[in-house]
Amino acid sequence: MAREKVVLAYSGGLDTSCCVKWLQDELDLDVICMAGDVGQERADLETVKQKALDLGAIKSYVVDMRKEFCEEYLDKCIYANGLYQDQYPLVSALSRPVIVKHLVRIAREHEAKYIAHGCTGKGNDQARFEIGVRALAPDIEILAPVREWELTTRESEMEWAAAHGVPVPVTKASPYSIDDNLWGRAIEAGVLEDPWNEPPEDIYTMTVAPEAAPEVPEYLEIEFYQGLPTQIDGKSGDLQEIIEKMNLIAGRNGYGRIDMVEDRLVGVKSHEIYECPGALAIIRAHQALEELCLERDLLRYKHNLEQNWAQYIYDAKWYAPLKHALDAFMRTPQRFVTGTVRMKFYKGTLTVVGRKSNYSLYDEGLATYGEGDSFERADAAGFIKLSGLPTKVWAQKQVTREHTI
Ligand code: ARG
């Protein structure tokens, strides 16, 4: 009888390389590897592809997901100004769903019974893989070898690897756990585990230190059409090009570093460092345009839902029904989010210094303290009286009570 098949999310690193062998040797499965290109830096993916074959995988795929990642995943994050704990633009949380989609596609093509990932049992990514697979293919079973292993130390893992013919990296492994894509980089572990430690400068690759950034500010104009950026300084590009360009501009000005203590899905607090120059700059510009173009109640309500959206994505629910409904809500008002934002980068800061739109709700006649004032001052007194009435009634009761006690 033919062996059952498993599709493994493969990165080329030590963990997932051990997974290839383990799935073959211990579970007697045919292993199909898939590596996704989501715009990560060390994307020598042809080498990764070959490495999987050398380890005995029966098939090895490298899938370029960049365009799709931008146009079906990151777009939604921009609409929703998605920032987990008001800070983190969900770099890893957004890439897992697109990877899962292709794992499932390949699993179907090969009639695979299993999908496997190399996540540990302590992080969020295991949940994103597994809940994602369950949503798209509830019949496919999930294998998580790394979570099962007793290989708790890096040394014992290397020993196991050497004994089973998995090439062990000769260079000293980075002490950090890094995940990156077009939307930014996540860096954790090593000396960063102590939140009192200032991160060493050499962990950053997308941003220069603010103090090393140019002494003169850099200005740019970013244009949005229906909620998405389409031009920088008059030059059009698709979303991927705009994001890449924004990463460069914001990064060279030292903008986009995040140092936070994050609440993981599994209940642990962890110290996480990110650099997300393009993501943060685009979201900031989008927020600035929404402030100008969206009606007050809608803007307030949306802001509350944005926090729910980010939490939900962080918590691995990309494919859950509530998420689709929230997306629809976020999408609806975007047709008014068309216009231009002028941004000023300077030594690690970003300031919005101009915004304009044909959909602007800003009415100079209503806002001005100068000439041409069209605001009806007489309406203010009655409006304030009624709006303060409940407070007044409450306050009067307090006074009476105090006197009677
Ligand atoms: N804490 C972040 C998140 O959950 C980043 C995870 C990075 N993943 C990794 N394997 N280093 O989204």
- Render pLDDT for 340-393 as a digit per residue (tens, 0 to 9): 999 999 999 999 999 999 999 998 889 999 888 888 889 999 999 999 999 999
pLDDT in tens, 93-121: 999 999 999 999 999 999 999 999 999 88
> pTM of the predicted model, to two decimals?
0.95
At residue 151, the pLDDT reads: 59
- Those residues whose C-beta lies under 8 Å from the C-beta of residue 337, and which sit 6 or more positions away, are 224, 226, 227, 286, 289, 290, 293, 294, 357, 359
- Which of these, 61, 121, 51, 68, lies nearest to 264 by C-alpha position? 121
Whether 177 sits among the annotated catalytic residues: the reply is yes
Q: pLDDT value at position 332?
A: 98
Give the tens place of pLDDT for each residue, 297-318: 999 999 999 999 999 999 999 9
Q: What is the pLDDT of residue 402?
A: 64
Q: What is the DSSP letter of 370?
A: S
Architecture of domain 5-173: 3-Layer(aba) Sandwich (3.40)
Question: What are the CA-CA distances from residue 356 to residues 87, 246, 288, 362 (Å)?
Answer: 26, 20, 10, 9
The topology (CATH level 3) of 178-294+337-356 is: Argininosuccinate synthetase, chain A, domain 2 (3.90.1260)
Q: Which residue has the CA at smallest separation from atom 4 of ligand 1? A: 124
pLDDT value of residue 155: 76
Average pLDDT of every residue of the chain: 94
Is 374 a residue of the active site? Answer: no
Domain locations in the chain as residue ranges: 5-173, 178-294+337-356
Rounded to a whole number of angstroms, the CA Rg of the chain reads: 26
Position of tokens 């739109």? Answer: 357
Active site residue 387: no
Which atom of ligand 1 is nearest to 188's Cα? 11
How far away, in angstroms, is 131 Cα from ligand 1 center? 16
d(CA 46, CA 58) in angstroms, rounded, equals 16
Pairing mode, if any, of strands 59-64 and 177-181?
Answer: unpaired
pLDDT above 80 (res 1): no
Q: Is 338 in the pocket of ligand 1 (CB under 6 A)?
A: no
Q: Is the CB of 316 within 6 Å of ligand 1? A: no
Atom number, ligand 1, closest to the C-alpha of residue 262 = 1
For residue 225, count other CB atoms closer than 10 A to its CB: 14
State the distance from the centre of ligand 1 to the C-alpha of 274, rounded, in angstroms.
10
Instruction: Identify the active-site residue in 3, 154, 156, 177.
Output: 177
125 lines ligand 1 (CB under 6 A): yes
Q: Which of 262, 109, 275 is nearest to 208 (CA)?
A: 275
